[in-house]
Structure 1
């Protein structure tokens, strides 16, 4: 089976690569630059344009050419900027090339990538969440569409001539930060729900974490899944302070720290292959109190060997 993976130059792809390699898959990788470590790790490499508004059409023209020529069976979407466009094309790729794109439907992606729509979804479904406004009312200012810590400000430390267009303000909540990794089958049934406490982060990515069994968080996540109807791998973020829980984000993609959840259960790619090819998958028991400590590894490439 041929599998297309994007964003193979990200730091976290290296932690996921061993799980891809455990599968009997032929991997095809795409990234936006030849200075991307994933291009030199045994995948069949391609360089594509960015998912910018200007180049989006050009990017998907190149991707479609790759899908067609490589006869891609399965696509894993991991880059925030492309998620909505992938969801819009999911049916097209399936009908034209029999290629399965592992992503939720367009309506789900729209709720997840827009923090104002996420907030309204939480409110409509009685999910506890910080108070949020399109006006400059609360302490934290965030882009409606964004990722990690990019563009986030405190109300008392705003840039000069700050404009609220494209932003939300959100109540600042305290507590320990959790990411909950979720795997759903194609009927949106949750197969795994694994909370992990983020002990330490760098640039919005977990570098130290531990899996925690928390029944209250898990029950809320089950409610979110039942109303949202995602498929594949997503992650949900919340803060917990004593008995108080506040959910803040839903990311409809693989999380940067998901290797901890894989190591604490199973290689979720095995389950996804079963979902799309009508095979039975039996979930494994989840191991809690598993710790993850992330470290760096260098890849040295001479200029003459750059793609």
Structure 2
């Protein structure tokens, strides 16, 4: 199968590309930076430099040209920004016989809007979410400390922690932000995959012990936590998810609070592949005809660490 993988400089790219190649797929990679800036370029069959996704028409035309040239059937976008743009151009890819391996329009409306996600679950007895309001609707008695986030933010960009009342009230003048109560606790990320046709699903939770500033776990503890697996399945069914996503929770005062649904592979999807479950192939199967996700596996609690090394190009 010929598959286009975008943003090959992202954290998940190495796992995605090499898993696809191990199954003998033809992988076309692309990125906004030159191929020689990414070692994973060597693992692709061919690589292209493309415009920024913010230049929507140029970006889409570039991807369509690549897909036509290499007879690409599936596109795996690896970043939220690209998914936001591609979501607007589904028909153009469909007309060219190309399937975008992304969530449905309805699902993305929730996953890419933190306030809509809050509204969906705030009265749900199964899923706990932090108290959230639009910045323009802030009340003076909103509990502190608080955290301010762009409503459609990604990778912790634009995030602000607020500890003083005067700083909180200044946020009333900032458009496009939600304010949430700041909950202390450890972050748990769940790699979750679901086939919308068969309703089969599987989840691998991990506690993130060390993270980069933009939220990528580097040292994690794999935890076969039954509650997190069940609540992920509940969310997956409620949103009718199809394919692989990741969900983030904070463990606060003996409860898990949902803080994000990221409609893409997590930065640490390689951790799940490392323990023996192929999230990448299961994701592809969700978009292929007459295929299902790989059967769930048993796995044990274990500590894993991401390692970096230098390579010449």
TM-score (norm 1): 0.89
Between 249-258 and 73-82, report the one with greater CA deviation. Answer: 73-82
- 2:158 is the alignment partner of 1:147: no
- 2:281 is the alignment partner of 1:270: yes
Deviation track 1:72-125 (CA, whole Å, cap 9, x = no partner) reads 01111111112123233335423x232222111112112111111111122253
Q: In the aligned structure 2, how far is the partner of 1:171 from the partner of 1:160?
A: 14
Instruction: Give the drift of 1:47.
Output: 0.9
Q: In the aligned structure 1, how far is the partner of 2:294 from the partner of 2:65?
A: 36
Q: In the aligned structure 2, how far is the partner of 1:111 from the partner of 1:188?
A: 22
Deviation track 1:219-278 (CA, whole Å, cap 9, x = no partner) reads 222221111111111011101135311111100000001111122232233334444032
Unaligned stretches of 5+ residues in structure 2 = none
C-alpha contact 1:213 1:288 (8 A) present in aligned 2: yes
Question: 1:7 aligns to what?
Answer: 7
Q: In the aligned structure 2, how far is the partner of 1:141 from the partner of 1:67?
A: 39
User: CA distance change for structure 1 residues 97 and 31 in 2, over 3 Å: closer, same or farther?
Assistant: same
Unaligned stretches of 5+ residues in structure 1 = 302-307
Question: 2:102 aligns to what?
Answer: 103
Instruction: Give the drift of 1:280.
Output: 5.4
Q: In the aligned structure 2, how far is the partner of 1:88 from the partner of 1:188?
A: 27
1:182 to 187, 192, 211: 192
C-alpha contact 1:84 1:106 (8 A) present in aligned 2: no
Question: 2:118 aligns to what?
Answer: 119
Question: 1:198 aligns to what?
Answer: 208
User: CA distance change for structure 1 residues 182 and 281 in 2, over 3 Å: closer, same or farther?
Assistant: closer
Between 1-10 and 259-268, report the one with greater CA deviation. Answer: 259-268
2:305 to 290, 293, 302: 293
Instruction: Give the drift of 1:290.
Output: 3.0
Instruction: Give the drift of 1:15.
Output: 4.1
1:104-253 mapped onto 2 (5 Å cutoff): 104-126=103-125, 127-135=127-135, 136=138, 137-138=142-143, 139-156=146-163, 163-187=173-197, 189-203=199-213, 204-253=215-264
Instruction: Give the drift of 1:199.
Output: 1.1
- Paired residue secondary structure (1:283): coil
Question: 2:47 aligns to what?
Answer: 45
- Paired residue secondary structure (2:163): helix
Between 259-268 and 61-70, report the one with greater CA deviation. Answer: 259-268
TM-score (norm 2): 0.87
C-alpha contact 2:12 2:265 (8 A) present in aligned 1: no
C-alpha contact 2:272 2:279 (8 A) present in aligned 1: no
Question: 2:57 aligns to what?
Answer: 57
Deviation track 1:23-62 (CA, whole Å, cap 9, x = no partner) reads 110100010011530334343111111111xx11111011
Q: In the aligned structure 2, how far is the partner of 1:109 from the partner of 1:132?
A: 19
Q: In the aligned structure 1, how far is the partner of 2:295 from the partner of 2:80?
A: 28
C-alpha contact 1:116 1:168 (8 A) present in aligned 2: yes
Q: In the aligned structure 2, how far is the partner of 1:124 from the partner of 1:47?
A: 45
Coordinate RMSD, CA, aligned: 2.3
